[in-house]
Amino acid sequence: MTKEFSIQLDEQTYEQVVQVAQSKNLSVSDYVRRLVVDHLPNPSFESRQIIGRIIQGEKLDEKNNLVEVSGIYYRYHLENPYQSKLKQYNYQITNNDGNQLYLKQLSN
């Protein structure tokens, strides 16, 4: 389960956050989440080693809704679940919740 909250940033700081997030192919929300998680004590293996990675669509097992990353099988959730021809695209792992990875389709 995720929680939402808002923060206030001055315009210059916000623009810097936007630029860095875009350079990493992340949304502002995902980038700020990574900053927070990376600075908490004892982040999970996924937070340290998997989030941010790019994976090939051919690694997706659509029938079982699984993807293998670093020898571990995870369930996955797509930002746009109504996509077709999933194996043609690359995906960036943007977040995780336990054994579920959140994937963002990248333009080819």
pLDDT at 30: 86
Return the domain boundaries, the chain: 11-106
Show pLDDT as tens, one digit a residue, over the chain (108 residues): 678 889 999 999 999 999 998 998 888 988 898 888 777 776 677 767 788 899 998 899 989 999 999 888 999 988 876 566 677 888 999 888 888 999 988 876
Angstrom CA distances, 24 to 27, 45, 78, stand at 9, 20, 19
Predicted TM-score of the model (pTM): 0.58
pLDDT of 75: 94
- In terms of C-beta density within 10 A (0-12 exposed, 13-18 middle, 19 or more buried), how is residue 25 classed? middle
d(CA 55, CA 104): 10
* Amino acid 10: pLDDT: 95
d(CA 6, CA 86): 33
Cα separation of 80 and 73, whole Å? 21
